[in-house]
Amino acid sequence: MQIVTSIEQMQAIALDYAKEKSVGFVPTMGFLHKGHLSLVEQSNKLCDHTVVSIYVNPSQFGANEDLGSYPRNMTRDLELLGQYKVDYVFCPTTEDMYPADYRTWINVEELGSVLCGASRPGHFKGVATIVLKLINIVHPNFMFMGEKDFQQIAVLRTMLKDLNLLTQIVPCPIVREPDGLAMSSRNSYLNPAERKQALCLSLAIQLARKLFAQGELNPSEHRNQTSKLINEMSGKVDYISFVNPETLKEVKTISSETRIILAVYIGKTRLIDNSSMSE
Amino acid sequence: MQIVTSIEQMQAIALDYAKEKSVGFVPTMGFLHKGHLSLVEQSNKLCDHTVVSIYVNPSQFGANEDLGSYPRNMTRDLELLGQYKVDYVFCPTTEDMYPADYRTWINVEELGSVLCGASRPGHFKGVATIVLKLINIVHPNFMFMGEKDFQQIAVLRTMLKDLNLLTQIVPCPIVREPDGLAMSSRNSYLNPAERKQALCLSLAIQLARKLFAQGELNPSEHRNQTSKLINEMSGKVDYISFVNPETLKEVKTISSETRIILAVYIGKTRLIDNSSMSE
């Protein structure tokens, strides 16, 4: 496992391996958990080489968000990655990624401005831009991403298609704690009481799926009941949406493909989760 | 010379040649003139393979601009290119380049909103987006571009650097008619009287260079005298600017590196030209 911090060095390596081998890429912001590691495992299975990036991308955080406090532990991350077949860990500096005269931004219209994009203006512009930069540096054939960030996958898949990039996204299932909480680096913000409250997200999903199984197809009814559950567990709903998984547009009638996607504040921590109605 | 209209086919070819050979790329909107052909010549000199694209990119035209009337003559273009070593001519369709659900746009802040970007809002967003798409399809090592579109080169050079693309721009000198008019596909719009009036652009540049040689370093004085010359020749100034060639910011004192850059309406036709003070 080689640790690379220089963009030029990573590109030189990439240009070389891309000629011969299939390359899997797992972009992360570090503070790795089993969700990330499941992506590395998938890449190991499907590709000759695996590259993991660790970079807390400032451009996807809003001015009042948690960039400063976002959890970091590089030593532990490298230790965890050492247990897998990771060929390169790319850890660039912000000075290199966004020099003072940096000016170029990617905008994925519509998909990037709804749901989390409405709550976090500019977030997906930052995500799309950093991922395009990373792809241009790493030259992967496949990019492994967790479905917890469902909208992120939709935005990036559109960007890749629109810009004629050949890198393909491999979406991987959400990894959950035994009690159902979707794994997230931000779970580390939760105190013991909040950790219990945080179960409201996965319970709301379970409720929606139960309602659907019982024949309830009306999104308003779903929203009312899931909101009620979340409120009762002291969560504060940012949004609960029932969307078409491709267009992310709200559906009028829920079907088995419909995605429930939600963001909830637990104390000061904003958590997200999502599911189809039939998983 | 192979003519390719399918994006997938062009990418398959590109992935193959990019492994071994150096590739020069000349993106054009067709209706080729000696300026374009000088770029092809340069590519022939420096690269193993040369790819020329012919595509009138709708996204860089404003709603009230000349997309509909922009001159086209594919038969003549292919005949002209046949006289050079052109390996591939890439002529995609708009249906393929911008399908109905197209959503991704590139914005190069500051550089894309001044000068021509101020007169033509959205123009450089369209230019940056199409060039990024073409680069992702053609995979060139070098991209040959004429300095007549000076701002375009500045915008694209920044985009390539910011997005960590390895394609390098090779700027090539403006090719002029014997009387000094910079070659442009849009010159075909000019009637005989306008063709004479159009000389005001190159004459304004000559005047500025003469003033500079005489020691005049004040941009206001330069602007006054060149505007006067253009008005007298029935041109209508869109802008005349004296800028730093890297940042495109207006200078306070003219030096030999300062670029005079101007856009002028001759009748309904908008023409551009530029020069350093020392060429």
Q: What's A201's domain CATH number?
A: 3.30.1300.10
pLDDT at A279 over 80: no
| pLDDT for residue B122 | 96
Write out the two tokens for B275. Answer: 């020069």
What is the set of active-site residues of B? 36
| pLDDT for residue B15 | 84
CA distances from A4 to A73, A246, B135 (A): 17, 35, 26
pLDDT at A17 over 90: no
Q: Is residue B178 part of a domain?
A: no
Q: Is residue B231 part of a domain?
A: yes
What is the set of active-site residues of A? 36
Domain of B225? 185-276
pLDDT at A61 over 80: yes
Contact B106 A111 (CB under 8 A): no
Other beta carbons less than 10 A from residue A86's beta carbon: 22
| pLDDT for residue B16 | 84
Q: Is residue A177 part of a domain?
A: no
Structural domain ending residue among the three candidates A129, A145, A172: A172
Of B107, B162, B166, the CB nearest to A102: B162
Q: Is residue B57 part of a domain?
A: yes
CB B251 within 8 A of CB B219: yes
Per-residue pLDDT band at A278 (split at 50, 70, 90)? confident
Count contacts between A and B (CB, < 8 Å): 71
How far, in Å, CA of B240 to CA of B258, rounded?
13
ipTM over 0.90: yes
CB A83 within 8 A of CB A8: no
Closest chain B residue to the Cα of A130, Cα to Cα: B163
Q: What is the mean pLDDT of residues A237-247?
A: 96
CA distance B95 to chain A (A): 12
**Same domain, residue pair A125 and A8:** yes
pLDDT at B199 over 80: yes
Lowest mean pLDDT among A8-22, A227-241, B88-102, B237-251: A8-22
CB A91 within 8 A of CB A5: yes
**Same domain, residue pair B190 and B167:** no
Buried b / exposed e over A7-16, threshold 16 CB at 10 Å, is beebbebbee
CA distance B180 to chain A (A): 35
**Same domain, residue pair A259 and A230:** yes
Q: Is residue A265 part of a domain?
A: yes
Please report residues of B whose CB lies closer than 8 A to that of A141: none
Q: Which residue has the tokens 């060039």?
A: B131
How far, in Å, CA of B230 to CA of B266, rounded?
10
How far, in Å, CA of B239 to CA of B226, rounded?
11
pLDDT at A19 over 90: no
Closest residue by Cα to residue B199 from B156, B247, B155, B235: B235
Asked if A7 reaches chain B (Cβ–Cβ under 8 Å), the answer is yes
| pLDDT for residue B241 | 98
| pLDDT for residue A166 | 93
Please report residues of B whose CB lies closer than 8 A to that of A106: 104-107
Per-residue pLDDT band at B18 (split at 50, 70, 90)? confident
User: pLDDT higher for B18 or B4?
Assistant: B4
Asked if A8 reaches chain B (Cβ–Cβ under 8 Å), the answer is no
**Same domain, residue pair B84 and B190:** no
Q: What is the mean pLDDT of residues A139-162?
A: 97
| pLDDT for residue B85 | 96
Per-residue pLDDT band at A60 (split at 50, 70, 90)? very high
Residue of B21, B59, B104 to mutate, interface with A, max A Cβ within 10 Å: B104
CB B129 within 8 A of CB B105: yes
**How does the average pLDDT of chain A come out, rounded?**
96
Q: What is the mean pLDDT of residues B94-117?
A: 96
Contact A104 B109 (CB under 8 A): yes
CA distance A258 to chain B (A): 20
Q: What is the mean pLDDT of residues B125-149?
A: 97
Buried b / exposed e over A103-131, threshold 16 CB at 10 Å, is bbbbbbeebbbbbbbeebebbbbbbbbbb
Taking only the tens place, the pLDDT of each residue in A213-226 is 999 999 999 999 99
**Same domain, residue pair A70 and A168:** yes
**Same domain, residue pair B158 and B245:** no
pLDDT at B279 over 80: no
**Same domain, residue pair B163 and B28:** yes
The one-letter code for the residue type at A155 is: V
Largest interatomic CA distance in chain B: 56
Asked if B11 reaches chain A (Cβ–Cβ under 8 Å), the answer is yes
pLDDT at B132 over 90: yes
Of B109, B136, B162, the CB nearest to A165: B136
How far, in Å, CA of A95 to CA of A97, rounded?
6
* Number of domains observed in the structure of chain A: 2
How far, in Å, CA of A75 to CA of A8, rounded?
24
Q: Is residue A180 part of a domain?
A: no
Write out the two tokens for B28. Answer: 């054009």
Per-residue pLDDT band at A15 (split at 50, 70, 90)? confident
Taking only the tens place, the pLDDT of each residue in B67-76 is 999 999 999 9
| pLDDT for residue A25 | 97
CB A235 within 8 A of CB A214: no
- Torsion over CA of A136, A137, A143 and A147, rounded to 10 degrees? -90
**Same domain, residue pair A134 and A205:** no
What sign does the dihedral A16-B9-B124-B191 (CA atoms) show? positive
Per-residue pLDDT band at A184 (split at 50, 70, 90)? very high
**Same domain, residue pair B141 and B8:** yes
Report percent pLDDT > 90 for chain B. 95
pLDDT at B214 over 80: yes
**Same domain, residue pair B29 and B161:** yes
Report percent pLDDT > 70 for chain A. 100
* Composition of chain B by helix, strand, coil, percent to 5: 40, 20, 35
**Same domain, residue pair B156 and B99:** yes
| pLDDT for residue B278 | 85
pLDDT at B101 over 90: yes
Per-residue pLDDT band at A241 (split at 50, 70, 90)? very high
| pLDDT for residue B221 | 98
Which residues contact residue A75 at a Cβ distance below 8 angstroms, ignoring those fewer than 6 apart?
A: none
Could you tell me the CATH number of the domain that includes residue B130?
Answer: 3.40.50.620
HSE of B45, CA atoms in CB hemisphere, 13 A = 9
Per-residue pLDDT band at A240 (split at 50, 70, 90)? very high
Asked if B107 reaches chain A (Cβ–Cβ under 8 Å), the answer is yes
Structural domain ending residue among the three candidates A120, A140, A172: A172
CA distance A108 to chain B (A): 4
How far, in Å, CA of A160 to CA of A132, rounded?
8
Taking the alpha carbons at both ends of chain A, their separation in whole angstroms is: 36
Q: Is residue B177 part of a domain?
A: no
**Same domain, residue pair B8 and B58:** yes
Rg of the Cα atoms in chain A: 19
How far, in Å, CA of B159 to CA of B166, rounded?
11
| pLDDT for residue A159 | 98
Contact B136 A164 (CB under 8 A): yes
Contact A107 B107 (CB under 8 A): yes
As to burial, measured by CB atoms within 10 angstroms (0-12 exposed, 13-18 middle, 19+ buried), residue B118 is: middle
CA distance B185 to chain A (A): 27
| pLDDT for residue B84 | 97
Of B11, B19, B104, the CB nearest to A166: B11
CB A130 within 8 A of CB A155: no
Write out the two tokens for B167. Answer: 């394609």
Structural domain ending residue among the three candidates B119, B150, B172: B172
Of A11, A101, A105, the CB nearest to B166: A11
Per-residue pLDDT band at A16 (split at 50, 70, 90)? confident
Q: Is residue B90 part of a domain?
A: yes
